[in-house]
Every structure is written in C-alpha cells, then in structure tokens.
Amino acid sequence: MSLIKAHETSVYHIRGEAKYDSPPITIKEGQLRYWFDNLQSGMQRLEETFANHPQVRFTYEELFGDTQGTMDSITQFLGVKPASMNCNTMKQESRSMKDAIANYANLEKKFRDTEYHRFFES
C-alpha cells in the first residue's frame, strides 16, 4: 500500500516528526493484482537465486516494530559488531488498511478466494 500511496501522492519519504495526512486512497483491482503478481514473482526469483545461500528473513512489520532487535539479528547473521541503529524515516500511514483504503472491503472481497488474501487484515 505504501508504494501505491507514494505514487499517487508523490510523497515517498517522511522524516523526523513530520506528519502527513491524506484522504483514503482508492486502489483499482487490476493495479493491486499487478503489484501482488510482481511481489510474488520477485520473491520467487530471490528464493531461487539464493536457495543455496544462508539467509536472514524479516518482515517490514518486524523491522519497524523492533528496529534494533531486527538489526541486531541482521548484524549477527552478517558476523559484524552490532551498532545502535537510529531511523528518522516515518511510516507514511498510521491508519489500518481498512481506514486508509477507501475501497478496502471491495478489494478484500475480490481477493478473498485467491492466494493474495493473506495480504489483507484479518
């Protein structure tokens, strides 16, 4: 959602204490399917390319929910000394997807019986 919102609003980064309020966005079903398809094919290519290599995995939510803990895991994986990590980039959206996407219910219904339903909030 963040990338779609950034493309629509031309706001790609929010730093420090800045606040950015925007109305809920409307996402076209085809646009969302395009992003889901690209995400999935990109992840598949990465998994195939690095299948025989050690990996560390983390989610966006883990990184922003516990930045220091996630970075500690990454530095340990890389075999480098942990360092204090500071990030001044803010999440673009603090609302739930249901509140930030005007047509969320319609999209959730359209993708309910697909492999992409996992991207919707329970």
Residue 60 CB burial class (10 angstroms; 0-12, 13-18, ≥19): exposed
- Amino acid 33: pLDDT: 95
- Amino acid 20: pLDDT: 60
Question: What one-character DSSP code corresponds to residue 101?
Answer: B
Residue 28 CB burial class (10 angstroms; 0-12, 13-18, ≥19): exposed
Residue bearing tokens 């690209």: 38
**pLDDT of the chain along its 122 residues, tens only?**
677 777 777 777 666 665 666 788 899 999 999 999 999 999 999 999 999 999 999 988 898 889 899 999 999 999 999 888 777 766 667 788 899 899 999 999 999 999 999 888 76
- Amino acid 42: pLDDT: 95
Report the number of distinct structural domains present in the chain. 1
Which residues constitute the domain of residue 40? 2-119
pTM score: 0.71
